[in-house]
A and B are shown apart, each in its own frame.
Chain A
């Protein structure tokens, strides 16, 4: 419902680099974020960045699990539950809870992903205690009253209805099934009409009890609050939760690549997606893969894909590649959309960019430029607001990278050589990817 009609030069607003020799002698911004690890008496830990410049406190946390923990037949449970935490808790019903939240002036949001249930609260420092009281209630004693449950469920059902004839949405679902097979990642995390209809308040309470426990919890707090105060607050917020999650085990999954999906639909554009293998964050080649992806299509304005597909040939508005690291699987994905009569040409251009990278790797100059970009951009992209800092700190905890990761990261990138990138490019890009085309006459488009 945005009325603004702003047209960006490129959605995504990222830039990658190739080499140059400019008179610019500028050092990257030192990621000067002082992270304190705070541990409460009851053993709840959080990473804290104390900053009093703007009088606000931002808190972000995750309970690991997410929609991958939805029981079979109860798809959509994590998603439904995350829509209900501001709909009544403790002795406050939905209306009373939201009224208090509004009076306090706190923004409180919950959301679920495949791998976690996230919460974020932002509040003026002077109202922090009142906001934390409400947050504690939401975390500890959500009510899941029938009225709000039915309402949020029926809003979600409307969303599912609305997506039913959207070709791109249907294609996304087919893609997930084709790539992940029987794994929970293949199931619709928003649920289905049937599964949502069957979810009860008992299901919600049971799911909450099993997931909201301290061992799957990671917390980050940024803003006008000191460590001693936070220590007490952590126990108030999370201290009464059970110690251990009761989660079902989720297997790691190798995405099924080397297949083609063609969804024929009369649309103004054909969208093209490809998936190649990715790498776990803990693998020694991971940073080489990060640099390779950056050169290939990670930024936008100067990557190889951007140059070949958009800049030279005007085939697409947006094109890029992305490393996706989920908890149990990883891929390197490429996506774009082009006018349908040029879809075959676009596929061929992307394939030739991939082939060249797989066979020859990057140039020294490309590697150096990508490295400089990735080192310099970290603070600007990941630490540019309280919310961004809190998100980054939670993800660092989830991925186990350590409190000193931000300091170590430049050296990890510096250590990568052209040979390393070439090796990882050959490893990831030599095989046949999964390819999906959605658009008119896609049967006739050669995707290989």
Chain B
């Protein structure tokens, strides 16, 4: 919660639907070079090819449209735990062989799990792409699991939970705030899982999860490469294309939120904390659930309110009033269901947490009442579009944008039209979003507090 505002801004942009679009660069000569190809294999696997001719290097990602929010009740953490198990070997390649094959050519590989998706990726010399597809297609179907590897790897994810969450008071609080913000929707459950449920996960759970979700028709292949789309397509057909389509999965309909109508607070007091901090969250629509233009307005609202050094929260609380060491806002629109909008702050010097909270609320009220200026809006729009050009400088950034968007209900066209849609947002729409969604009377606020020492 004490992020460097600059860093926060780039994290935010990376999470939002930042993309490049051919329309945004209609006048520039590289338009053709950056034309993204998109097609579907016969077995239902969606494929996106992003051209990047700068070096003979390819980023290959497979995104499964399943995340922690799709887990059965009582099995929290299975999506992430299963992600670990995908590295345990298949009937064709023993455990570690895929890792070795990648290391052999100096490649990188890893995987990650979030609420709505699980992704596996390799960055390798381009002439290894078909081989990577072969391995990845193989483990989509032929994974071998036994009780011993399942038990050892479960210990690893339990240590991961201790490292990431239990060791860090602010991470513990974030987990509790999410569990309080979401009353019904599965985003209330941490991606990594609740400890007591993680401890019980077993081979049967893993097998069921695998059989249900790891099918070509539930996956999106994203390739960013110097190879042309036709070549990539032929390779994909020779590898993934051989896999039989799985049963159609039912639509991802999850429990939705009841109307939010209370103000809730969560307080964590920990002796490791010496400076207090707070964050408030609201349930807001994501790109996938919003009415046209609303998610774009929320993106711009978060940028103007608290997206960096020029934002209102930073300028007012940190620079002018001098009461905060940090203050900002964030919105992650790339979610399948409703998402959250967050504001946060840390007091500095003699200022109190209450002062910071009131000052944050006042800035929200100001926008709700008076709106934002045209100048602020234009600058925020420019920052977003510029970030999409900067993102083209890293293959994996581009692949991430397409993968996360497509796994949460967006289309390639949505992504390509995004800069235009951002461009059309009016100041009044930004104000309306603040009025509608950021009501102080229905927020969920987390307070991280130091333990009071006797005599203080």
Chain A residues within CB distance 8 Å of chain B: 1-10, 13-20, 22-24, 26-30, 32, 51, 53-56, 58, 86, 94-95, 98-99, 102-103, 105, 107, 109, 122, 124, 151, 154-155, 157-159, 161-167, 267-269, 299, 301-302, 310-318, 337-339, 369, 372-381, 383-387
In the complex the two chains form, is A301's CB within 8 Å of B154's CB? no
Nearest-CB distance from B9 to chain A (Å)?
9
**Nearest neighbor of B102 in chain A, beta-carbon distance:** A15
For B192, list chain A residues within 8 Å (CB). Answer: 5, 7
Provide the bound-state CA to CA distance between A103 and B383, in Å.
Answer: 9
Q: What are 7 inter-chain pairs, A to B, with CB distance below 8 A?
A: A1-B1, A1-B3, A51-B54, A161-B274, A301-B96, A380-B108, A381-B108
In the complex the two chains form, is A24's CB within 8 Å of B191's CB? no
B234 CB within 8 Å of chain A = no
In the complex the two chains form, is B274's CB within 8 Å of A162's CB? yes
Complex A-B, nearest 8 residue pairs according to Cβ-Cβ distance, in ascending order: A376-B106, A314-B155, A17-B103, A377-B106, A158-B325, A317-B160, A268-B166, A162-B275
What number of B residues sit within 8 Å (CB to CB) of A? 97
Partner of A3, one of B125, B332, B349, B382: B332
For B105, list chain A residues within 8 Å (CB). Answer: 24, 26, 28, 372, 376
Instruction: Given A98-B310, A165-B273, A369-B100, decide whether A158 and B55 contact each other with a Cβ distance below 8 A.
Output: no
Partner of B15, one of A3, A58, A122: A3
Nearest-CB distance from B200 to chain A (Å)?
16
Nearest-CB distance from B32 to chain A (Å)?
13
Instruction: Given A53-B54, A385-B393, decide whether A380 and B274 contact each other with a Cβ distance below 8 A.
Output: no
Instruction: Given A1-B279, A154-B322, A339-B159, decide whether A380 and B124 contact each other with a Cβ distance below 8 A.
Output: yes
**In the complex, chain B residues 75-130 whose Cβ is within 8 Å of any chain A Cβ:** 80, 83-84, 87, 96-97, 99-115, 123-125, 127-128
Provide the bound-state CA to CA distance between A135 and B41, in Å.
Answer: 50
For A53, list chain B residues within 8 Å (CB). Answer: 30, 33, 53-54
Instruction: Given A151-B319, A301-B99, A385-B394, decide whether A269 and B163 contact each other with a Cβ distance below 8 A.
Output: yes
In the complex the two chains form, is B322's CB within 8 Å of A317's CB? no
Instruction: Given A7-B164, A98-B309, A164-B274, decide whether A151 and B110 contact each other with a Cβ distance below 8 A.
Output: no
In the complex the two chains form, is A159's CB within 8 Å of B2's CB? yes
B35 CB within 8 Å of chain A = no
For B99, list chain A residues within 8 Å (CB). Answer: 15, 17, 301-302
Partner of B310, one of A99, A269, A299: A99
Partner of A377, one of B6, B108, B131, B326: B108
Partner of A24, one of B28, B55, B104: B104
Provide the bound-state CA to CA distance between A393 and B318, in Å.
Answer: 36
For B38, list chain A residues within 8 Å (CB). Answer: none
B390 CB within 8 Å of chain A = yes
In the complex the two chains form, is A29's CB within 8 Å of B56's CB? yes
For B287, list chain A residues within 8 Å (CB). Answer: none
Nearest-CB distance from A35 to chain B (Å)?
15
B203 CB within 8 Å of chain A = no
Nearest-CB distance from B75 to chain A (Å)?
15
| Known pairs A1-B3, A54-B30, A166-B274 / 11 extra A-B pairs, C-beta < 8 Å | A9-B87, A22-B104, A24-B131, A99-B310, A124-B386, A158-B325, A301-B109, A318-B163, A380-B125, A384-B395, A387-B393
In the complex the two chains form, is A161's CB within 8 Å of B162's CB? no
Provide the bound-state CA to CA distance between A1 and B327, in Å.
Answer: 11
Partner of B84, one of A9, A17, A23, A55: A9
For B80, list chain A residues within 8 Å (CB). Answer: 7
In the complex the two chains form, is A14's CB within 8 Å of B108's CB? yes
In the complex the two chains form, is B393's CB within 8 Å of A56's CB? yes
Instruction: Given A154-B348, A269-B166, A339-B162, decide whether A8 and B111 contact each other with a Cβ distance below 8 A.
Output: yes
B204-212, B339-347, B413-421: which lies at the interface: B339-347
Nearest-CB distance from B115 to chain A (Å)?
7
B243 CB within 8 Å of chain A = no
Nearest-CB distance from A21 to chain B (Å)?
9
B152 CB within 8 Å of chain A = yes
Instruction: Given A6-B113, A15-B108, decide whether A26 and B344 contact each other with a Cβ distance below 8 A.
Output: no
**Nearest neighbor of B28 in chain A, beta-carbon distance:** A55
Flag B267-292 by CB within 8 Å of A: 1 or 0 each.
00001111100010000000000000
Partner of B340, one of A3, A155, A269, A313: A3
In the complex the two chains form, is A380's CB within 8 Å of B107's CB? yes
For B2, list chain A residues within 8 Å (CB). Answer: 158-159, 162
For B113, list chain A residues within 8 Å (CB). Answer: 6-7
In the complex the two chains form, is A7's CB within 8 Å of B103's CB? no
Flag B158-195 by CB within 8 Å of A: 1 or 0 each.
11101110110000000000000000000000111000
B392 CB within 8 Å of chain A = yes
B328 CB within 8 Å of chain A = yes
**Nearest neighbor of B151 in chain A, beta-carbon distance:** A314
For A102, list chain B residues within 8 Å (CB). Answer: 310, 379, 383
In the complex the two chains form, is B107's CB within 8 Å of A379's CB? no
In the complex the two chains form, is A155's CB within 8 Å of B348's CB? yes
Instruction: Given A269-B163, A311-B152, decide whether A158 and B275 contact each other with a Cβ distance below 8 A.
Output: yes
Provide the bound-state CA to CA distance between A213 and B383, in Å.
Answer: 33
In the complex the two chains form, is A386's CB within 8 Å of B103's CB? no
**In the complex, chain B residues 39-77 whose Cβ is within 8 Å of any chain A Cβ:** 53-57
For A378, list chain B residues within 8 Å (CB). Answer: 106
B428 CB within 8 Å of chain A = no
**Nearest neighbor of B171 in chain A, beta-carbon distance:** A5
In the complex the two chains form, is A17's CB within 8 Å of B125's CB? no
B8 CB within 8 Å of chain A = yes
Provide the bound-state CA to CA distance between A32 and B390, in Å.
Answer: 22
Provide the bound-state CA to CA distance between A264 and B347, in Å.
Answer: 30
Provide the bound-state CA to CA distance between A162 and B54, in Å.
Answer: 44
In the complex the two chains form, is B103's CB within 8 Å of A299's CB? yes
For B112, list chain A residues within 8 Å (CB). Answer: 6-9
